[in-house]
Chain A
Amino acid sequence: MGEVNCEGRTSREVNAEIKRQVHEGENPIVVRNPAARHNLCVAILQPVNVQIEGSVGYYCAGLIDGATVEVAGSAGWGLAESMMNGLVEVHGSAGNGAAAAIRGGTVVIHGDAAARLGISMKGGTVIVTGNCGYMAGFMAQKGTLIVCGDAGEAFGDSMYETLCYVGGKVRSLGTDAVIEELSPKEAGALDALLAQHLDSGERSKLPAGIDFKKVAAGRKLWNFDKREWKTWQEAL
């Protein structure tokens, strides 16, 4: 097991030390005293498990490919931004732009996410056990966005093929976002996915798969049509 103490070190030094230990074959690696430093664990490209014992600042685990990063605390802006593959798990709340532009992998937030969750995601799975803020899923292209609590305003605005599932209320839908019927098969898949990432105690406090709302693109913005000028005027 590897160990990195952040005390007295800059983010750059911590990241260099993590990468050095990854190359030496350490796995898992425990990162102590992070004190919400920025940019921790950015661009780790090996399937290593990193446990961060505390809160992290901005852009934690951004650009990773295949690593597992677990945060025992909250995360700042841009959590797992542009991740290619891997698993990022936060035991606390996340700031704006969590899981923005991810291409693959899974982000699990055991708490709330702030504004712009999963914007422009191009694949992967995002699970938030609590609520999410304003404009989640904006221009998201592929992948799955699951919010077990309530979703904020302008949810799922201008999306492509991302599918969203909301366990609680949606404060307002974004332009071209529509609520679609959830099939029992999809509900089953949702239950299986949640069971895979949440322990039974946490899962039991959340709605059953069949009670989630499914939000998808209404496809009105996919092709320009001047007869639908009104929709285009309202779109951002």
Chain B
Amino acid sequence: MCGIAGFFDKSENNHDVGQVLLSMLEGLACRGPDSTGVALFAPGADHEVVLRLKLGEEGNCSACLGALRNFLDREFRARHQLTSYGNAVRLKVTDIADVSTLAAGIEALDKRIEIVSVGECMEIVKQVGSPADLDRAYAVGQMKGTHGIGHTRLSTESKVDLSHSQPFGSHQLGDLAIVHNGHITNYHQLRRQYEQRKIRFFTENDSEVVAIYLADQINKGLALREALHAMLADLDGSFSCLVATANQFGLVKDQFALKPLLWAETGSFVALANEEFAIRSALPGAYDVREAQAREVRVWER
């Protein structure tokens, strides 16, 4: 099962993207009771990068937090801002030369520290629990932005913890997030190929390879739409996937149309989910909702 949802505001205003996604995810929670997450996109400030980090799974993470604080004070004294949320933190850094060096520096501090998201305008928050739990932990309902995607997980093949929750980002490309409903059956083969190229996987979840694959295709120079078409040829199995970047928002459905995925578009928004109930309960009004076809790729851009 798994619930996936996406919302793209067509106006230039900072819409209540967090609240809309949260309502959609509440409608989808029955499809995935294990964990919940969202990736939210809002216009970022120049020379500013936001990272969301996990400092260990449960319990005491003060050692990791201490190591992180020392590192930041040493390297980015007046140029960072750290907010703590239990075992996760939000880190904003300004004027950095190279994001990947920063990321590598942080992850070298302690093997329990993991980068959940990195980007100039994207932030991923996710954890074990319901949409209401996610809202309590991160006040998702108050987050503003332009677009975002969310996920409620029913785990089928890998463990239930924050790392294995969705959305997934990629260390190879910032400002990219995916959510996936289905199974990637050639996951192990693809993973082996990427690992031979020294690309690190952080989880055992097959959905992680979707983010790594798309980041790789985009880094090779493909436009998002082309990358999604390429995915239809290169990834096997069942997938209804949503993907978001700084200014794009898209969907792809596998060749057998094995998982549901619906889309609705009006003059002011695009909403995607795998149950119409989720879209209708979050967005009242009169509009059509349609099922995406097999091999359908759609991309919206601002």
Q: Give chain A's interface residues, CB within 8 Å of chain B.
A: 35-38, 54-55, 57-58, 74, 76-77, 92-96, 112, 114-116, 133-134, 152-153
Jot down 19 A-B pairs with beta carbons below 8 A, ordered by A: A36-B275, A36-B277, A38-B277, A55-B276, A55-B280, A57-B276, A76-B262, A77-B291, A92-B289, A93-B288, A93-B290, A93-B291, A95-B262, A114-B291, A115-B257, A115-B294, A133-B257, A133-B294, A134-B294
A74: which of B255, B289, B293 is its contact (CB, 8 Å)?
Answer: B289
Residues of chain B lying within 8 A (CB to CB) of residue A92: 288-289
Residues of chain A lying within 8 A (CB to CB) of residue B244: none
Q: How far, in angstroms, from A198 to B290 measured CA to CA in the complex?
A: 22
A36-B276, A115-B257 known, 11 other contacts, Cβ within 8 Å? A35-B280, A36-B281, A36-B289, A37-B277, A58-B275, A76-B275, A96-B260, A96-B291, A114-B293, A115-B291, A115-B293
Residues of chain B lying within 8 A (CB to CB) of residue A37: 277
B260: which of A55, A76, A133 is its contact (CB, 8 Å)?
Answer: A76
Q: Give chain B's interface residues, CB within 8 Å of chain A.
A: 255-257, 260, 262, 275-277, 279-281, 288-294
Find out whether the CB atom of A152 lies under 8 angstroms from the CB atom of B275.
Answer: no
Q: How far, in angstroms, from A134 to B257 measured CA to CA in the complex?
A: 8
Residues of chain B lying within 8 A (CB to CB) of residue A116: 257
Assess A95 versus B291: contact at CB under 8 Å? Given A77-B260, A115-B257, A133-B257: yes
Q: How far, in angstroms, from A76 to B291 measured CA to CA in the complex?
A: 8
Q: How far, in angstroms, from A133 to B281 measured CA to CA in the complex?
A: 27
Chain A interface, DSSP helix/strand/loop, else mixed: loop
Residues of chain B lying within 8 A (CB to CB) of residue A55: 276, 280, 289
Q: How far, in angstroms, from A36 to B27 measured CA to CA in the complex?
A: 11
Residues of chain A lying within 8 A (CB to CB) of residue B290: 74, 93, 112
A35 closest partner in B (C-beta): B280
Q: How far, in angstroms, from A57 to B255 measured CA to CA in the complex?
A: 23
Residues of chain B lying within 8 A (CB to CB) of residue A57: 275-277
Residues of chain A lying within 8 A (CB to CB) of residue B276: 36, 55, 57, 74, 76
Residues of chain B lying within 8 A (CB to CB) of residue A95: 260, 262, 291
A38 closest partner in B (C-beta): B277
Residues of chain B lying within 8 A (CB to CB) of residue A58: 275
Q: How far, in angstroms, from A95 to B183 measured CA to CA in the complex?
A: 21
Residues of chain A lying within 8 A (CB to CB) of residue B256: 115, 134
Q: How far, in angstroms, from A15 to B290 measured CA to CA in the complex?
A: 25
A92 closest partner in B (C-beta): B288
Task: Please give me the 10 A-B residue pairs with the lowest Cβ-Cβ distance, nearest first.
Answer: A36-B276, A114-B291, A115-B257, A134-B294, A36-B277, A95-B291, A35-B280, A133-B293, A36-B280, A93-B290
Residues of chain B lying within 8 A (CB to CB) of residue A76: 260, 262, 275-276, 291
B260 closest partner in A (C-beta): A77
Residues of chain B lying within 8 A (CB to CB) of residue A134: 255-257, 293-294
Q: How far, in angstroms, from A94 to B255 measured CA to CA in the complex?
A: 18
B293 closest partner in A (C-beta): A133
B259 closest partner in A (C-beta): A96
